[in-house]
Amino acid sequence: MKTYKYPSPKEWTEITERPHLDTARLNKTVNDILTDIKSRGDEAVKEYEEKFDNAKLQHLAVSQEEIDEAVRSTPKELYDAIMLAHGNISRFHASQHIETKKIDTTPGVTCWQKIVPIEKVGLYVPGGTAPLFSTVLMLATPAKIAGCKDIILCSPPGADGKINPAILTAARIAGVSKIYKAGGVQAIGAMAYGTESIPKVYKIFGPGNQYVMAAKQLVSLHDVSIDMPAGPSEVCVIADDSSNAAFVAADLLSQAEHGIDSQVLLITTSEHLAKDVISQIDIQLKALPRHGIAAQALGNSKIVILKSKDEAISLSNLYAPEHLIIATDDYDELAEKVVNAGSVFLGKYACESAGDYASGTNHTLPTHGYATAYSGVNLDSFNRKITFQHLTPEGIRNIGHAVEVMAENEQLSAHKNAMTLRMSEIKH
């Protein structure tokens, strides 16, 4: 990890840079696959599954028998953990229901909103080196609570042609409608365009590697909505002399093990704490099964030593991290100053892992600085808001002339006429 000691604000732009990708070549590769999926449907999906996942598939749909078998084979300890997490996630997201009300903006003019669930949503759940069954809970649970009619899930199978049993178990618990064996770009294309087996959806959710992220952004241009633009996962930890160095190191490593393109950032006001964290990273890294991945991610990562907590918060807000851990005793005071972050973890015991799995908050969050403008996935992500308005003759009298004047000054005479006709009628 590169260390910056008391950098000037001019250096902050460099500090907050993420790893760069060759997006031109990436987009060309992804677009070619998407075009093929759109043209050849199931046949193309199966060919890419054999090519990328070494799975030779007869059928893309997961049968009820396969799901039943997966549930039976899931160890009770894991099943109970999934149930506990699902309960907490359900409670938190159910609390996000909003009651709308009608309001008279002026006498005779009534306006209101109606919250309507998105009918067809597609969930992408990575498999591969880390089968993210927790992501099933994070996406399907709020989709079910929102009332989405069709909840479609795609996840890559192993070479044996089966999806990880924990993913299928979590899907059963969370209320997924249909599950398909498809990973990577081909899964995103199938849900965006629809194939003989996989239905087209209206919005796609879920994390993935750089190819999946590029595919989501490309299909969002014309064919389907997506949850958010995203890049590799990241964490920022703010710490001081009151922080536990071993905990901080563990938090940094838990993020670094996601992938070689992940990034971690430690911001601290203590040189002593920074040295202790580096020592702890060296000790803990050796014990990790994914130490090679974590070590490469640390190469993208930084430690920044600053003079004050105000500077630390300012730098964090500029970075706009996906995950922000405030591991100081005065976390309440600092939390009030956070304006850009996906999800915030307060105090020495609030590790990112809690939010990733079972505290109840959602772990599908904006990365790559998008937290300046995007929220993480929540109940509202699965809803639309339709506005309504009703006007009476009194309403026409109250706003009609203003509408005429505004339409005339925008040189939209048909707009003016639509109101003028109504105003003429109510005069008689």
Q: Which residues are catalytic?
A: 322-323
Is 233 marked within a binding site? Answer: yes
Paired with 106 in beta bridges are: 109
Is 378 marked within a binding site? Answer: no
Tracing tokens 């393109």 back to the chain, one arrives at 261
> CA angle at residue 300 from 294 to 302, to 5 degrees?
100
Is 410 marked within a binding site? Answer: yes
Distances in whole angstroms, Cα of residue 300 to Cα of each of 18, 180, 185, 426:
8, 35, 26, 69
C-beta atoms surrounding 22 within 10 Å: 9
Is 415 marked within a binding site? Answer: yes
> CA angle at residue 158 from 40 to 128, to 5 degrees?
95
Is 186 marked within a binding site? Answer: yes
For residue 187, give the nearest of 134, 244, 126, 110 by alpha carbon. 126
**Spatial distance between the Cα atoms of 314 and 310, rounded to a whole number of angstroms:** 6
Q: What is the DSSP letter of 61?
A: B
**3-state SS record for 149-190:** CEEEEEECCCCCCCCCHHHHHHHHHHCCCEEEECCHHHHHHH
> CA angle at residue 319 from 316 to 324, to 5 degrees?
50
> CA angle at residue 122 from 99 to 36, to 5 degrees?
150
Is 255 marked within a binding site? Answer: yes
Is 370 marked within a binding site? Answer: no
For residue 305, give the nearest of 268, 265, 252 by alpha carbon. 268
**Spatial distance between the Cα atoms of 325 and 343, rounded to a whole number of angstroms:** 9
Q: From the annotation, which residues make up the binding site for NAD(+)?
A: 124, 186, 209
Question: Which residues sit in the known binding site?
Answer: 124, 186, 209, 233, 255, 258, 323, 356, 410, 415
List residues forming the annotated binding site for Zn(2+): 255, 258, 356, 415
What are the binding residues for substrate?
233, 255, 258, 323, 356, 410, 415
